[in-house]
C-alpha cells in the first residue's frame, strides 16, 4: 500500500541489554539489483546466491520479467536468471511499477534507454514526487526519448533510439545511480561510453560488468578523477554470483553494539568495498572498538567478519570527500555522534537532501526532539554529544526507512527510549530488521498514534 495511505505504525524502542553473538545480514541491496539486471542481459543462466528479498529488489525481479527475462527462485536468496542478450529486451505489456525503489528504477531506465522499445515507469507517491531530471539529462544526450510529467516526474515513458550515441560524461554530482544508468545504457551503444568522476562513488556496476565479460576499464587520471570506459555491444556471459552481506544493513546492529555497554557482537560476511566503508572508517576514528577478521573474496568483492565491542566515542570532523562511501549512513552516524564526547561535524551532505527524505532536516529535527544539541547547515550537520542523550522524544520519520531504523537504534541506547511515528517504511526495505534486532534483545513496542 502506498506509504501515505496506510495507517502509521508508531513504534517505541526502549533500552536494550548488551548485544552479543554472531549474526548475518541480508545480501547487499546495490549488488542485488545489479546481479538481476546483468543476469537479464547475459547469454545463459546466471545463478544468484544471497539475493536481498526486499520489496525494492522484488520490484527489479518483476521488471526483468516484464522485459522478457526468465527469473526464478529455488530457495530463500537463491535465484536464477535466464538472460536475453544485450539489446534483447522485449516491449513490456504493462506499466512497470517500482514502488519505492529509487535505485532500481533509475538503473532500469538506463538499461531500457538503449533499446528501441517504449517502457512506461511509475512508482509510489514518494517516488512520483521526486524529480528525475539530473539523471535523465545524460540519457537524453545519448538520444533517449523521455515523455514525463512536468518537472521530469513519474510516470514517464522511456524509449531508446535505433542507435544510442556514446557519451563522454563528466559527472556534475557524485551519484552511483546516475553513473550506473549511463553505463547500463552504454552496454547497447556502439563505441565507447566514458564517465569521469571527480568524486568516486560505489563501483559495483563496473566490477560486475567486468565479471560478466564486458569491455570495461577503470582507473584514476592525473587529476585524481576516476575514469570508466565501456565499449558497448559486446555479449555478456552468465555468471554464478554470491552476494556479500549489506554493509548498510550491518550498520544498525554495529552502531547499536558500539553504544550499548557490555556488547560484543560479530557480523559475518559483510561487504568491505572501500566505497562503502566510510562509516566503519569514521567510527574507528571516533574510538570505536571494531575489528575485521576472516577477510576473503566473495562475488568479485571483499568481505569480512566485523567484531564490534561497546566503546566510548569521541566527536570527529568527517571529511566531505568521504560522503559517497557512507551516503546512506549519515542518519545513523548522527545517532552515534549524539553519544560521543564533543562535536561531530559532517560536511558535503548536499545529496542527503535528495534521498527518501530531506535527511539533513529530518535527522536534525529527530535529534532535537530527543534533547541532542544539533546544528543544521545547508549541506552540513553538527551534532554535540557528551552524556547519553535523554531520548523520550517522538520522531517524524517522513516515510524514510533509514531514518526510522537509525532512531530505533537511538532508542535502544537512550535511557528514556525513543518513539518513531511510523515503522511501516522499514518492512519493504529491510524486512528482517525487526526480527534481527529483537533477536539480539532489542525491545520494540507498538506505540499509540498521536491524539488527533
Ligand atoms: C546506490 C547509490 C547511492 C545510495 C543508494 C544506492 C546504488 O545513491 O544512496 O541507496 O546502488 O547505486 P547515489 O546515487 O547518491 O550514489
Architecture of domain 3-26+244-446: Alpha-beta prism (3.65)
Residues in the chain, overall count: 452
Rg value, the chain, Cα: 21
Confidence of residue 386 (pLDDT cuts 50, 70, 90): confident
Residue 351 alpha carbon, nearest atom of ligand 1: 15
Spatial distance between the Cα atoms of 165 and 266, rounded to a whole number of angstroms: 48
Which element (helix H / strand E) includes 267? strand 264-271
Q: Mutate which of 52, 109, 175, 199 to test ligand 1's pocket (most atoms within 8 Å of Cβ)? A: 175
Mean pLDDT, the chain, as a whole number?
A: 96
Interacting residues of 308 by C-beta distance below 8 A, sequence separation 6+:
253, 254, 257, 258, 263, 264, 265, 266, 267, 288, 289, 290
Spatial distance between the Cα atoms of 286 and 329, rounded to a whole number of angstroms: 15
Candidates 29, 178, 186; CA nearest to 106 is 178
C-alpha cell at 407: 532512531
Residue 342 has pLDDT above 90, yes or no: yes
Residue 171 has pLDDT above 70, yes or no: yes
Please state the φ and ψ torsions of residue 324, each to the nearest 5 degrees.
-60, -25
* Ligand 1 pocket residue status of 176, Cβ below 6 Å: yes
Spatial distance between the Cα atoms of 299 and 208, rounded to a whole number of angstroms: 9
- Residues with catalytic function: 328
Give mean pLDDT, residues 154-176: 96
Residue 387 has pLDDT above 80, yes or no: no
Q: What distances in angstroms separate CA 55 from CA 29, 100, 111, 386, 422, one per listed residue?
A: 11, 8, 20, 38, 18
Residue 384 has pLDDT above 90, yes or no: yes
29-242 under CATH 3.65.10.10, yes or no: yes
Residue 327 alpha carbon, nearest atom of ligand 1: 9
* Ligand 1 pocket residue status of 175, Cβ below 6 Å: yes
Q: What distances in angstroms separate CA 121 from CA 114, 136, 139, 146, 157, one per listed residue?
A: 15, 13, 15, 11, 6
C-alpha cell at 37: 539486471
Residue 180 alpha carbon, nearest atom of ligand 1: 12
Residue 167 has pLDDT above 80, yes or no: yes
Kind of pairing, strands 264-271 and 20-24?
parallel
Cα(103) to centroid of ligand 1, in Å?
6
**pLDDT of 178:** 97
* Ligand 1 pocket residue status of 248, Cβ below 6 Å: no
**pLDDT of 206:** 97
**pLDDT of 267:** 98
Q: What is the pLDDT of residues 231-244, one digit of tens each?
A: 999 999 999 999 99
DSSP 237: B
CA 114 to chain centre: 25
Considering the chain, tell me which residue range(s) the CATH 3.65.10.10 domain(s) occupy: 3-26+244-446, 29-242
Ordered strands of the 192-197 beta sheet: 168-170, 192-197, 226-231, 215-220
* Ligand 1 pocket residue status of 328, Cβ below 6 Å: yes
**pLDDT of 362:** 98
Residue 160 has pLDDT above 80, yes or no: yes
Spatial distance between the Cα atoms of 308 and 33, rounded to a whole number of angstroms: 29
Q: Return the bridge partners of 291, or none.
A: 307
Q: What is the pLDDT of residues 396-451, one digit of tens each?
A: 999 999 999 999 999 999 999 999 999 999 999 999 999 999 999 999 999 988 76
* Ligand 1 pocket residue status of 32, Cβ below 6 Å: no
Whole-model pTM: value is: 0.97
**pLDDT of 216:** 98
Which element (helix H / strand E) includes 182? helix 176-186
Residue 29 alpha carbon, nearest atom of ligand 1: 11
Q: What is the pLDDT of residues 54-99, one digit of tens each?
A: 999 999 999 999 999 999 999 999 999 999 999 999 999 999 999 9
Give mean pLDDT, residues 145-159: 96
* Ligand 1 pocket residue status of 208, Cβ below 6 Å: no
C-alpha cell at 321: 570527500
Spatial distance between the Cα atoms of 228 and 451, rounded to a whole number of angstroms: 54
Tell me which residue has cell 554535540: 384
Amino acid at each position: 500500500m502506498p506509504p501515505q495511505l496506510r495507517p502509521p505504525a508508531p513504534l517505541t524502542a526502549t533500552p536494550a541489554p548488551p548485544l552479543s553473538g554472531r549474526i548475518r545480514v541480508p545480501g547487499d541491496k546495490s549488488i542485488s539489483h545489479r546481479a538481476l539486471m546483468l543476469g537479464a542481459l547475459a547469454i545463459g543462466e546466471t545463478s544468484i546466491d544471497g539475493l536481498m528479498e526486499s520489496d525494492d529488489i522484488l520490484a527489479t525481479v518483476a521488471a526483468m520479467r516484464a522485459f522478457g527475462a526468465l527469473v526464478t527462485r529455488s530457495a530463500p536468496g537463491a535465484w536464477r536468471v535466464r538472460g536475453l542478450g544485450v539489446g534483447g529486451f522485449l516491449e513490456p505489456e504493462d506499466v512497470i511499477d517500482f514502488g519505492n525503489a529509487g535505485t532500481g528504477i533509475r538503473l532500469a531506465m538506463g538499461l531500457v534507454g538503449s533499446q528501441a522499445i517504449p517502457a512506461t515507469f511509475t512508482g509510489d507517491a514518494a517516488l512520483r514526487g521526486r524529480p528525475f531530471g539530473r539523471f535523465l539529462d545524460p540519457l537524453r544526450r545519448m538520444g533517449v526519448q523521455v515523455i514525463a510529467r512536468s518537472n521530469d516526474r513519474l510516470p514517464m515513458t522511456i524509449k531508446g533510439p535505433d542507435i544510442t550515441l556514446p557519451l563522454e560524461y563528466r559527472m556534475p554530482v557524485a551519484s552511483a545511480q546516475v553513473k550506473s544508468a549511463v553505463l547500463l545504457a552504454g552496454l547497447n551503444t556502439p563505441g565507447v561510453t566514458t564517465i569521469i568522476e571527480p568524486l568516486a562513488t560505489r563501483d559495483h556496476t563496473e566490477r560486475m560488468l567486468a565479471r560478466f565479460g564486458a569491455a570495461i576499464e577503470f582507473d584514476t587520471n592525473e587529476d585524481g578523477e576516476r575514469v570508466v570506459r565501456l565499449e558497448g555491444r559486446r555479449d555478456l556471459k552468465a555468471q554464478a554470483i554470491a552476494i556479500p552481506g549489506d554493509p548498510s544493513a550491518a550498520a544498525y546492529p554495529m552502531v547499536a553494539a558500539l553504544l550499548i555497554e557490555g556488547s560484543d557482537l560479530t557480523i559475518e560476511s559483510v561487504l568491505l568495498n572501500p566505497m562503502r566503508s566510510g562509516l566503519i572508517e569514521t567510527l574507528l576514528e571516533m574510538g570505536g572498538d571494531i575489528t575485521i577478521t576472516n577477510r576473503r573474496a566473495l562475488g568479485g568483492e571483499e568481505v569480512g567478519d566485523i567484531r564490534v565491542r561497546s566503546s566510548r566515542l569521541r566527536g570527529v570532523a568527517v571529511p566531505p570527500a568521504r560522503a559517497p562511501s557512507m551516503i546512506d549512513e549519515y542518519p545513523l552516524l548522527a545517532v552515534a555522534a549524539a553519544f560521543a564526547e564533543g562535536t561531530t561535524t559532517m560536511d558535503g551532505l548536499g545529496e542527503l537532501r535528495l534521498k527518501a527524505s530531506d535527511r539533513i532536516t529530518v535527522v536534525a529535527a529527530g535529534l532535537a526532539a530527543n534533547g541532542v544539541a544539533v546544528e543544521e547547515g545547508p549541506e552540513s550537520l553538527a551534532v554535540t554529544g557528551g552524556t547519553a542523550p535523554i531520548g523520550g522524544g517522538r520522531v517524524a520519520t517522513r516515510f524514510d526507512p533509514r531514518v526510522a531504523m537509525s532512531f530505533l537504534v537511538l532508542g535502544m541506547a537512550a535511557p528514556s527510549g525513543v518513539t518513531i511515528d511510523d515503522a511501516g517504511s522499514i518492512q519493504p526495505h529491510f524486512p528482517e530488521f525487526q526480527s534481527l534486532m529483537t533477536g539480539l534483545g532489542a525491545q520494540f513496542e507498538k506505540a499509540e498514534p498521536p491524539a488527533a
